[in-house]
Amino acid sequence: MKHQTILILDFGGQYNQLIARRVRECGVYCELVSYTAPLSRLKAMDPIGIIFTGGPHSVYAPGAPSVDPEIFTWGVPVLGICYGCQLMAHLLGGSVIPAQDDSAREYGKTPARFDTACALFKDLPAESVTWMSHGDYMERVPDGFVTAAWSDACPHAAIADSVRGFYGVQFHPEVNHTEYGRQMLRAFLYDVCHATGDWTMGDFKDRSVAALREKIGDKKVLLALSGGVDSSVAAALLAEAVGSQLTCVFVDHGLMRKDEGDEVQAAFAPWPINFVRVNAEERFLGKLAGVTEPERKRKIIGEEFIRVFEAEAKKIGAVDYLVQGTIYPDVVESGTGDAAVIKSHHNVGGLPDYVDFKEIIEPLRLLFKDEVRQLGRELGLPEYLVSRQPFPGPGLAIRVIGEVTKDKLDTLREADFIFRDEVAKAHLEGAMDQYFAVLTNMRSVGVMGDGRTYDYTLALRSVTTADFMTADWTRIPYEVLDAVSTRIVNSVPGINRVVYDITSKPPATVEWE
């Protein structure tokens, strides 16, 4: 059965995979494809609708990302978002120019007014908050278009040609900050593109299992198992697809949280899979000695992971495929196409140039974290594993600022355990999507028992988020923070000051490095 498909044309913006997630939330299958893809490939997808994404460029600049205007002759509805809106206007005869002064540029939460006769805004309030991020604006809309929304600084915040099914919004409906953004996207999918909602996570599971069986055949597979949600779900998916052909290798690199290595091994003991635990603490710490730069840490860890897996594959014999639990946010932040690199994830941008496997398989690459959890439930994984806190592949190495040493790791492990323990005692786990401690490289003066100390500052970090593309800092009750701080300072040597990070994403990332 072929599903209805929305084609999302990627022009390099940081929110682009989030658009795909929003579309899939509506029960509609979509694929994100680079704007550089041949027009023949795009047409062969037979989309019921097309979305042009945002991007960091100006449409009028030489060499700016573009698309063949033939795409507008297919009789398929098109929605342009931010850069995509400006590109559509530019290609169809409108005028896009740079803002003449700061007052005409819009960034962040911006009130806008809407023509509720437009299909995108039908049954929505005539005024609400949108999320803007643009320094250019449409001075003149193309023939056949009307203005469907406007703000104080932007005369054409949305445009529409209902006859051809072309719509453009200057703001970002895909982010939570746009109050009715999801309803606007759903209106485009169902009222303009006439989607029926024929895609589910259960169907994704079935299609993935079938595709993996066809691809792998009778070959052997090695899976990089961290014990986190992503790799655990990948393991369950591969176990269903190829069973005993799968070997899961858990690399205990000495960068795990307190007792985590033993917990991971115990969790997978009942599974009918080949489970191998590799104790590689000395190897990893040796490679990280003297390294302070975050990107270098990530790349070192990424390469060592691969080398350990290669060594284990040789022991097993004739392993063709390496499987990783890479998900969409990993890919976005590691940089794709025209998008900027935020930070290299060890299993994406941190991979070495040469990998001694026939191919790397990433079955979760198209999924966001909440979708991975949903897939885990479809596969029958226990809830405690599916709902587990995210933990970065490089582990505590990117939560120790500066050089990574065993002493610093042991200090951080104890402090992080106390933080998580107090959160559990306060029954706050459900209100916090990721929370952890960071051992900073800053030392300051303190006093303990009438004596002077000069020890490290520990930072606590907690965020709430649905997708990890954007996140807000958690409002932890003061009494819980007080209990955490008091307990850490009194019982963990080397720490005399505790601070709480109250920065959202953006502008920060969830992790510090």
Please check whether residue 91 is in contact with residue 51, taking contact to mean a CB–CB distance below 8 angstroms: no
Cα separation of 49 and 41, whole Å?
A: 15
Judge whether 174 counts as a catalytic residue.
yes
C-alpha–C-alpha distance, residues 448 and 210, integer Å: 62
Catalytic position from the list 30, 134, 156, 174: 174
Q: In the 8-state DSSP scheme, what is residue 100? A: S
Query: With the CA atoms of 338, 84, 470 and 400 taken in that order, what torsion angle do they form, in degrees rounded to the nearest 10?
Result: 10
The catalytically annotated residue of 90, 134, 156, 172 is 172
Q: How many Å apart are CA 166 and CA 306, to the nearest integer?
A: 47
**Segment holding 453, helix H or strand E:** strand 451-464
Find the distance separating the first CA and the last CA of the chain, reported in whole Å.
Answer: 44
Q: CA–CA separation, 355 vs 351, rounded Å?
A: 8
- SS3 letters for 99-164? CCCHHHCEEEEEEEEECCCCHHHCCCCCEEEEEEEECEEEEECCCCCEEEEECCCCCCCEEEECCC
The residue to which tokens 């951080």 are assigned: 412
**Choosing from 30, 82, 118, 193, which is the catalytic residue?**
82
d(CA 416, CA 512): 15
How far apart CA 46 and CA 66 sit, in angstroms, is 20
What totals of helices (H) and strands (E) does the chain contain, helices first?
14, 20
Q: Which residues are catalytic?
A: 82, 172, 174
